């Protein structure tokens, strides 16, 4: 846009035009040396250092979310396999056959997720 024509409320077209040519921009505070591209290299270096220290990659944050979810899931499985089972055994609250049926599938799942969590933690530490 090189110029902008403003209309009056009555619909008349006054001769009021705002020019946005380069000469008019010379006095703009947006073009001051502080905000110009002269310091652009320094800003890019700072951004690069931040990226190395704090990864902004979407995949990294997705992996961190998976890690947090896996930790929560493993804690829930631990409550079932360790604490609930020991309480049931201690109270003799369930027949042996029902306990075997109930817990037979949970133990392999729990063991798998323990290893899976360790692997995720190792991979994220190397990211």
Does any domain span residue 53? no
Does any domain span residue 32? no
pTM over 0.85: no
pLDDT per residue as tens digits for the range 42-75: 666 666 666 565 656 888 899 999 999 999 999 9
**Contact status, residue 80 vs residue 104, Cβ threshold 8 Å:** no
User: Total domain count for the chain?
Assistant: 1
Does any domain span residue 66? yes
Does any domain span residue 99? yes
118: containing domain: 58-126
pLDDT per residue as tens digits for the range 68-102: 999 999 999 999 988 999 999 899 888 999 988 88
Alpha helix positions (H), 39-95: 40-53, 58-78, 85-91
Does any domain span residue 44? no
């Amino acid at each position: 846009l090189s110029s902008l024509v403003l209309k009056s409320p009555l619909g008349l077209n006054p001769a009021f035009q705002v020019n946005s040519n380069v000469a008019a921009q010379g006095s703009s505070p947006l073009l001051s040396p502080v905000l110009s591209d002269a310091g652009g290299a320094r800003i890019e270096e700072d951004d690069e250092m931040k990226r190395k220290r704090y990864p902004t990659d979407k995949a990294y944050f997705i992996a961190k979310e998976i890690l947090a979810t896996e930790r929560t899931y493993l804690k829930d499985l631990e409550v079932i396999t360790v604490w609930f089972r020991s309480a049931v055994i201690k109270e003799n609250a369930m027949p042996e056959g029902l306990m075997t049926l109930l817990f037979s599938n949970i133990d392999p799942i729990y063991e798998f997720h323990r290893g899976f969590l360790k692997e995720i933690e190792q991979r994220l530490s190397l990211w």
